[in-house]
């Protein structure tokens, strides 16, 4: 796999994702502005469901003293993340874990210890936790609450669809989203399916693509996109229940939110 092919695929990933989340860069920036203000520049972050590492890369560039533990379950995207983050050396650990299983937090802690970095102070996630079932999501926030340092924060940027209580914004959000998706494709960018077709044509990724497809097929229909209709209130209530005494939203564009939680500074 040549460096150029990977870089082209990674950059196509970003543009493909922007077809679904037009404000993706703004969402990253808001998260990083919070981190800068609350934690300063030296901390360990978790990039939960990192994909090919877009968030980790931006975070490591903005905070040269920071460390990231990037976690995902997709073997092909993890390979891309490893390549993309390789030049950050020890500052980036890329690990495989299923965030729907309780073992993910032990794996993150083990990675932090092996790399001799601080316990994580912040968990970030973008466009991913809708893959978890509501019960799994609540457990995931619970494990994050146990894992993070006192005063630690969670920021989850994702679509949290308006439910039947808000039919008008639900319809508007859907129309706006579809328009951006169509415009992106009309500009020659990929949608989700065509990006994966390009990826599997790269010889080194082909086998990994087959493996990830088999794993995803095994977990359908139970889990595929099942949390997508989880409204924002559920996220906020789950964070509170998990011990994040500050819990709420800090950014929103229609049904695209950043949900924020912060633990108390003392565990007592």
Ligand X SMILES: C[S@@+](CC[C@H](N)C(=O)[O-])C[C@H]1O[C@@H](n2cnc3c(N)ncnc32)[C@H](O)[C@@H]1O
Which residues are near ligand X by CB under 6 A?
17, 49-51, 54-55, 72-74, 77, 98-100, 126-128, 131
Could you tell me the smallest distance in angstroms from the CB atom of residue 128 to ligand X?
4
Q: Quick one: 193 or 266, whose CB is closer to ligand X? A: 193
Q: Where are the beta strands (DSSP E) in 5-152?
A: 44-48, 67-72, 92-96, 122-126
Nearer to ligand X, 49 or 202 (CB): 49
- Please, what is the minimum distance in Å from the beta carbon of residue 219 to ligand X? 8
Q: Cα–Cα distance between 81 and 69 in angstroms, integer?
A: 11
Query: Could you write out the DSSP letters of every residue in 132-193?
Result: S-HHHHHHHHHHHHHHSPTT-EEEEEEE----TT-HHHHHHHHHHHHHHHHHHHHTT---HH
Q: How far is CA 229 from CA 165, 220, 222, in A?
A: 12, 17, 14
Instruction: Write the DSSP symbol of residue 118.
Output: P
Which residue number, 62 or 166, has a Cβ lying nearer to ligand X? 62
Q: Report the residue number, 152 or 157, with the smaller CB distance to ligand X.
A: 157
Which residue in this structure is represented by tokens 């037009």? Answer: 22
Instruction: Scan for tokens 């040549």, then name that residue.
Output: 2
CB nearer to ligand X: pick between 105 and 127 = 127
Contacts of 170 (CB under 8 A, 6+ apart): 161, 162, 163, 255
User: Which residue, 135 or 167, has its beta carbon nearer to ligand X?
Assistant: 135
Max Cα–Cα distance, the chain, nearest Å = 55
- Output the smallest distance, CB 236 to ligand X, in A: 21
DSSP 86: G
CB of 245 to ligand X, least distance (A): 26
Residue identified by tokens 């903005």 is 62
Name the residue number minimizing CB distance to ligand X.
51
Is 129 or 247 the residue whose CB approaches ligand X more closely?
Answer: 129
- Grouping H, G, I as helix, E, B as strand and the rest as coil, residue 97 is coil
Q: Compute the least distance from the CB of residue 55 to ligand X, in Å.
A: 6
């Amino acid at each position: 796999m040549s460096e150029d092919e990977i870089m082209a695929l990674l950059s196509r990933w970003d543009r493909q994702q922007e077809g679904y989340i037009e404000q993706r860069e703004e969402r990253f920036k808001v998260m990083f502005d919070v981190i800068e203000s609350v934690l300063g520049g030296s901390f360990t972050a978790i990039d939960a469901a990192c994909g090919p590492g877009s968030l980790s890369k931006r975070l490591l560039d903005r905070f040269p003293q920071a460390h990231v533990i990037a976690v995902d379950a997709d073997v092909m995207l993890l390979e891309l993340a490893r390549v993309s983050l390789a030049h950050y050396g020890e500052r980036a650990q890329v690990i495989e874990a299923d965030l729907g299983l309780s073992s993910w937090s032990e794996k993150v802690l083990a990675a932090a210890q092996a790399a001799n970095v601080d316990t994580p102070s912040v968990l970030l996630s973008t466009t991913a936790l809708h893959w978890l079932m509501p019960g799994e999501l609540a457990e995931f926030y619970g494990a994050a609450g146990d894992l993070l340092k006192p005063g630690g924060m969670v920021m989850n940027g994702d679509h949290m669809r308006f439910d039947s209580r808000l039919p008008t914004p639900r319809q508007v959000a859907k129309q706006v989203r579809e328009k951006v998706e169509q415009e992106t494709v009309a500009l020659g960018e990929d949608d989700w399916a065509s990006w994966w077709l390009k990826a599997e044509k790269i010889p080194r990724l082909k086998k990994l693509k087959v493996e990830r497809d088999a794993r995803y097929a095994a977990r359908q229909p139970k889990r595929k996109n099942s949390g997508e209709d989880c409204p924002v209130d559920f996220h906020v209530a789950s964070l509170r229940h998990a011990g994040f005494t500050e819990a709420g939203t800090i950014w929103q564009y229609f049904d695209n939110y950043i949900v924020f939680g912060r633990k108390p500074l003392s565990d007592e």
